[in-house]
Amino acid sequence: MEKISSNMKTILITGGTGFLGRNLAPALTGAFRVVLTGRNNKQNNYAQAVTGCEVIPMDVANIEAVRDAFTEVRPDFVIHAAATKFVDLAEKQPMECIDVNVTGSQNVARVAVEKQVEVVLGISTDKAAPPVRNTYGLSKAIMERIFCSMNSKAQTRFACVRYGNVAWSTGSVLPIWKQMHEKDGVIRSTGPEMRRFFFTVDEAVKLVLTALENIEAIQGKVLSRYMKAAQIADLLNTWIENKGGSWERIEGRPGERNDEFLIGEIELPFTTELIYDGITHYLISFNEKVPKPLTVGLSSANTTRLSPSEMADLIDDARE
Ligand SMILES: NC(=O)c1ccc[n+]([C@@H]2O[C@H](COP(=O)([O-])OP(=O)(O)OC[C@H]3O[C@@H](n4cnc5c(N)ncnc54)[C@H](OP(=O)(O)O)[C@@H]3O)[C@@H](O)[C@H]2O)c1
């Protein structure tokens, strides 16, 4: 992170005590004063201990708490990673999901403008790409639109990044499989036939850094990047080959679907392809057709499959 490091500015990461925040903080420390926020004090203390960053409690669903935190921290940059992200929970408790992911994002956007924050970057998901299948995806699709729309209304530059599954992130398949494997050697999977985009947390961190470094070019838009995918059965088989044990199918959860989309069909006229650091990225705008649109959408069904060795590397890349 060198391009924007001339003056030590303050960067606040909402939900920075979570998996992404804890892994992003070290990449920003040195160039920025990094402040992480979260609600749960046990997790706040843990994040403080592992990152060495300042951590303060803040509930994004409460605008006064957001205002208090921004008054205290005076951030120049905000990375908005706070979210409730479990698809099945959001189907059962949609109100909580909307409070955190939609109202919380609105609160962050409103207070950022009020406090003249320079840049706000929202962290979105492939589940926000059309066709949206679940409440979590809808809530993140709204966050994307709130942020992209706010960009033209104030000095603050807003943008989002959108990506698929981060290996070893909180509550994702690999840590869950690890727990099951340690318990009785049997991994129970809800969707061996499903295909999912996967990359490492280092790649997620890199996408965030790329977005910050190129904020002038991407403001008001969503930046995504090419990702490979794996069929869950292949990932399971790779796990078993490398670590032993067995797997079996169990009943699916609400809100799940076989494939995910990073760029949906209806987004094509609004999406440009660009290259950053030799990697194909996609810049998605809303309501603004682009001169050279993408011609084919990107889904976990039509992207490149992760090779057995790439899957083994993901499995071995266990992170806290
Ligand atoms: N992991 C993935 O595969 C993936 C893929 C695409 C996009 N994303 C997005 O990336 C972001 C980070 O994900 P992650 O994997 O780091 O998730 P995580 O480990 O679950 O972290 C989420 C963070 O948000 C905080 N949070 C939740 N509700 C909050 C609230 N009301 N107010 C303030 N903080 C709140 C949590 O702390 P407390 O509960 O203590 O508040 C935690 O620090 C999320 O926005 C997620 O949607 C993740």
Where do the domains of the chain lie?
9-164+201-224
Assign 122 to helix, strand or coil.
strand
pTM listed for this prediction:
0.96
The number of the ligand 1 atom at minimal distance from the alpha carbon of 127 is: 6
| Cβ 37 vs Cβ 53: under 8 Å | no
214 C-alpha to center of ligand 1: Å? 24
- Evaluate if residue 256 carries a pLDDT over 90: no
> Which band of pLDDT confidence, cut at 50, 70 and 90, is reported for residue 231?
very high
- Evaluate if residue 57 carries a pLDDT over 60: yes
The number of the ligand 1 atom at minimal distance from the alpha carbon of 58 is: 33
Q: List the residue whose alpha carbon is closest to atom 22 of ligand 1.
A: 18
CATH architecture label of 9-164+201-224: 3-Layer(aba) Sandwich (3.40)
What mean pLDDT do residues 16-38 have?
97
Q: Which of 23-27, 106-110, 180-184, 249-253 has the lowest mean pLDDT?
A: 249-253
**Which of 12, 78, 79, 85 has most ligand 1 atoms within 8 Å of its beta carbon, as the pocket-test mutant?**
85
What mean pLDDT do residues 216-244 have?
96
Instruction: Give residue 151's identity as a one-letter amino acid code.
Output: N
- Evaluate if residue 3 carries a pLDDT over 90: no
Q: What is the reported pLDDT for 257?
A: 86
Q: What is the reported pLDDT for 5?
A: 47
The number of the ligand 1 atom at minimal distance from the alpha carbon of 41 is: 40
> Which band of pLDDT confidence, cut at 50, 70 and 90, is reported for residue 80?
very high
Q: Could you tell me where the beta strands, DSSP code E, fall in 47-91? A: 54-57, 77-80
- Evaluate if residue 2 carries a pLDDT over 80: no
The whole-chain average pLDDT of the chain stands at: 95
101 C-alpha to center of ligand 1: Å? 10
259 C-alpha to center of ligand 1: Å? 22
d(CA 63, CA 316): 40
- Return the residue matching tokens 């965030």: 208
d(CA 282, CA 314): 24
- pLDDT, tens digit, for every residue of 87-144? 999 999 999 999 999 999 999 999 999 999 999 999 999 999 999 999 999 999 999 9
Write out the two tokens for 264.
């949906």
Q: What is the reported pLDDT for 319?
A: 87
CA 305 to chain centre: 21
**What does DSSP assign to residue 260?**
-
d(CA 2, CA 156): 21
Pocket of ligand 1 (CB under 6 A): 14-15, 17-21, 38-40, 43, 58-61, 81-85, 100, 104, 123, 125, 163, 165-166, 169-170, 172
Q: Which residues contact 184 (CB under 8 A, 6 or more apart)?
A: none
d(CA 231, CA 218): 31
Write out the two tokens for 287.
């309501």
Based on the residue annotation, tell me whether 226 is a catalytic residue of this protein.
no
> Which band of pLDDT confidence, cut at 50, 70 and 90, is reported for residue 320?
confident
> Which band of pLDDT confidence, cut at 50, 70 and 90, is reported for residue 255?
confident
> Which band of pLDDT confidence, cut at 50, 70 and 90, is reported for residue 252?
confident
